[in-house]
Amino acid sequence: MDGFFVPLDPPDDPSAADGTRILNFSGDSSELRIFPIYTFPDNEKYLEPKYPQIHTLTMSVPDTDVGVVDFRELLLEWLPSGFVTDYKFGLGLVKDCNRLVRLIEKHTECAEIYFMGGTNVAVAGKQLLLGLERFEVILSEIRRINSRGYDGAARVKDAFVHNALASTLSLEPAVYSLGCHPVSQVLTKAADGVKELTEQEQDALIDTFASESAALARTRPETFLKLHRDIELVNLDRLIQSYEDALARGKKEGFWQNFFDNNAFALQQVFGTPMVSFQSSASVGGVGFAGSGGKVADYLLKNPLTNNVALVEIKKPSTSLLNTKEYRGGVFGPSKDLGGAVTQVMDQAYQLMTSFAGLKLASRADLEAYAVSCFVVIGRTPSSDDEQKSFEMYRANSRNVKIVTYDEILEQLKLLRKFLLPEDSER
């Protein structure tokens, strides 16, 4: 039994006036065949197949009496989700599943998709055999992606509207959430106009920039400087973000030593002169006659111009800088941890000076110990005025050791970023 789509508005072609076959049902095999077509007269492909290559969608349906078959009832009752069930719309697959058809047409010569039970997928001549369970899994994931896309777009829109009125309503600027799912993150960035490159595209871009950088610097110096500055800003942004995340999560001392090992630029913000890392977890002497008691500094650095060495001791960001109880009204003494860290790095400097000749000879390094500089990275800046006053007075009188807090390093990085940012930029 065949079913025909008969247009209310007859087409110019008289041969199509009697209708275009859109369905076929075989009682012998209980197979329903669908021939999707365009059914809107304003479409230039009116009454032509919807898909360039795949013209037939076939599936088995339960036994039906051919003499009383009702196509509309058959479509509504037996077509699974993902199919167009209204013949007025030309049947076929829903719009989001057209990408499945396009993929099959691009990579096979199939003219028919045969839907069957199970999860298997196979090409058999001009047929693509597709398990309905596999089809349902694909359709479900497409719908989940759609949902994530809608949610991501909503987050971007909400943040945009918030920021458009933030100054008027005295609100803090909002930053939209990317979401937890990787697909949600990609879709949210896409909704904000962020276009991410694939790894291959990234590699090609890097190779091109590396090979053409000298020519670009010579022929387009302003463009080259802008590109170079943008790259530095991106790197700095990533460093600042990583630093802020680690502070928020309360990472331990060991994490920070690894962090500064991998991001030496952040640690360099504590110095007023150029310094380069010479050795992490450096032995500075102090070994007893029994071979014990060796002193190890978190970092041994040197000035690349004078070779003069410096020592850095790091403690946790959560380390208290001051005692919790006031010594006198409005006066707070240094905490045990802060005082211990200062004494520790001074002792390391003493041991280094004492053992320097032997250490230098053993390492065969260009190092000098004219005046060993000492630094302690510890804690976070106190919040109250009295505590800030007490802390500043203490470290100002700690003449041989410079004390720097973790949030001061972060602020230094942010100030550097602001300095690198063009004046007319809104970033």
- Mean pLDDT within 381-407: 92
At residue 86, does pLDDT exceed 80?
yes
Angle separating helix axes 221-248 and 406-420, nearest 10 degrees: 160
- Mean pLDDT within 35-45: 88
CB proximity list for 117: less than 8 A, separation 6 or greater: 131, 132, 133
Task: Check residue 427 and give its pLDDT.
Answer: 46
At residue 161, does pLDDT exceed 70?
yes
Residues 410 and 405: their CA atoms lie apart, in Å, by: 9
Contact predicate 377/314, CB 8 Å = yes
Angle separating helix axes 132-165 and 182-191, nearest 10 degrees: 50
At residue 69, does pLDDT exceed 80?
no
- Mean pLDDT within 142-154: 84
State the chain's mean pLDDT as an integer: 82
163-222 tens-digit pLDDT: 888 888 887 777 766 666 665 666 566 666 666 656 665 666 666 666 767 776 777 777
Q: Between these two residues, 159 and 395, which has the higher pLDDT value?
A: 395
Q: Between these two residues, 35 and 358, which has the higher pLDDT value?
A: 35
At residue 351, does pLDDT exceed 80?
yes
85 alpha-carbon distance from chain centroid: 40
- Mean pLDDT within 334-356: 91
Supply the Cα-derived Rg of the chain in whole angstroms.
36
